[in-house]
Structure 1
Amino acid sequence: MIEIKNLKKIYNGVTVVNIPGVAIATGESVGLVGNNGAGKTTLFRMMLDLIRPETGQVLMKGEPVAGNEDWKNFTASYLDEGFLIDYLTPEEYFYFIGGLHQQSRAHVDDFMAGLTDFFNGEILKKGKYIRDLSKGNQCKVGVASCLLQSPQLLMLDEPFANIDPSTQFRLKSIVKDLNKNKGVTTLISSHDLNHITDVCDRILLMEKGVIIKDIATSSSTLNELQEYFGVGQTAATHIKVDEEENH
């Protein structure tokens, strides 16, 4: 579904993303992990054609995202509150998103009723503008608007960061259901190693703009990632040595 080729982004003379190639198949659940500044959000923004790379391209279903509109019909994403229209109430925003997809207000209402547990009584019928919601509740609105679109590809940047533990588990259940039962391709970044290894079958580890490890999730993946982030350069050296030995 997704193919990245020779993708490079440079800011002020510093290369912040440098990915020679990576492919994500239809129906895969992929996690993106890395420290702050690893290039995760920049990569997401290039994949969504929000910023342009210096070199390379991102293909979705064989077509470049740059200068193309087709990928927008099957992709839903939430990176941050900048994706929302903050002077609307959540209901108004959902009706707006639904309208873009030829959905009636009745359909939107029925769909949102199915997210009652996820909203936890904090979103609907509160008379608040989105700008007045907490970051966690803004995230709920963003994620719900993605789900409303019935996407084939779902991209979420740090969705677990500001939501409470109960909502984290509900979100994990939703994402797993979309991937396992509905065949939705999911791409999620997170600093929470427990959640990301639980939700995703494949983990891409980024450091300084480079994907240094592509891991099929197994019972040892969480320990491997914890060792890497806990030990730092020592673990990074081990990973590099392992890669050289494998080649």
Structure 2
Amino acid sequence: MMIEIKKLKKVYNGVTVVNVPQLEIKQGESIGLVGNNGAGKTTLFRMILDLIRPESGEVLSKGNKVAGAEDWKSYTASYLDEGFLIDYLTPEEYLYFIGGLHEQTNAQVDEHLATLTDFFNGEILKKGKYIRDLSKGNQCKVGVGACLLQKPQLLMLDEPFANIDPSTQFRLKNILKDQNKNHGVTTIVSSHDLNHITDVCERILLMEKGVIIKDIATSSSTLADLEEYFGVGQTIPANTPIIDEEENH
């Protein structure tokens, strides 16, 4: 099991913003997290990454508690927002720094970055800009590039499609599919874009007011079901397939 959540609860100013009694994410699954603003998606991400502590409950990564531990960080890569970057560095400096943390030489980093040429689209490297001077979309590219550099077993991205152009969205989707299908990476991605999330993820978690109200296996009807939930009446049809706990991806 890659991630296991037990009785996890986070409260701000007397309001419960996340309440997940139980959730299991197997190794190699591709998970999409959807929900309106304020649903608790980012808060859940931050608890999984031990960036904030819950009022109660726990998150386990490969069977071990993440809170206060270090082991899980060696196989986990994440980009939630530009706060994850060191903005007074150039992209090259930052990527070499991240590579160095993972015992990679600059030459090895360069070799990896060559595989991201299309994704970077000539906008990231050798531009003489600091990360703080890049657009949010290009900052996202740096963050995702740094994640991939780490060759993670678990990859977590919060709203990665939000600020990037359509060509980059297409390339990122292909990268995520490749990481999951060909490298066995467990991916957890949140997005407001229902088309992207149903295209990339085999399992969708729908959050509302801190609660995962649906846990569904992606099928040909999933996109329409989600559009109906967000567009009309906010109800998912009763016949929406619930993921089989015994099913392995």
TM range (shorter): over 0.9
2:223 is equivalent to residue 218 of structure 1: no
Q: Deviations over 1:27-53 (max 9, x none)?
A: 000000000000000000000000000
Counterpart amino acid of 1:38? A
Counterpart amino acid of 1:130? I
Q: Deviations over 1:41-79 (max 9, x none)?
A: 000000000000000000000000001110001000000
SS of residue paired to 2:42: helix
Where does structure 1 differ by over 6 angstroms across 4 or more consecutive aligned residues?
none
SS of residue paired to 1:179: helix
SS of residue paired to 2:124: coil
What's the counterpart of residue 34 of structure 1?
Answer: 35
What's the counterpart of residue 138 of structure 1?
Answer: 139
SS of residue paired to 1:16: strand
5+ residue gaps, structure 1, are none
Listed as ranges, the matches of 1:7-86 within 5 Å are 7-86=8-87
2:112 is equivalent to residue 111 of structure 1: yes
Q: Aligned partners of 2:108 and 2:48: how far apart in 1?
A: 30
Counterpart amino acid of 2:13? N
What's the counterpart of residue 193 of structure 1?
Answer: 194
Q: Aligned partners of 1:194 and 1:114: how far apart in 2?
A: 26
Cα deviation for residue 163 of structure 1 reads 0.2
Counterpart amino acid of 1:184? V
What's the counterpart of residue 101 of structure 1?
Answer: 102
The structure in which a higher percent of residues are helix is: 1
Cα deviation for residue 231 of structure 1 reads 1.2
Q: Aligned partners of 1:232 and 1:147: how far apart in 2?
A: 39
2:5 is equivalent to residue 4 of structure 1: yes
SS of residue paired to 1:43: helix
Counterpart amino acid of 2:52? I
Cα deviation for residue 232 of structure 1 reads 3.7
Cα deviation for residue 154 of structure 1 reads 0.2
Q: Aligned partners of 2:212 and 2:220: how far apart in 1?
A: 21
5+ residue gaps, structure 2, are 243-249
Alignment TM-score, normalising by the size of structure 2: 0.94
SS of residue paired to 1:162: coil
What's the counterpart of residue 175 of structure 2?
Answer: 174
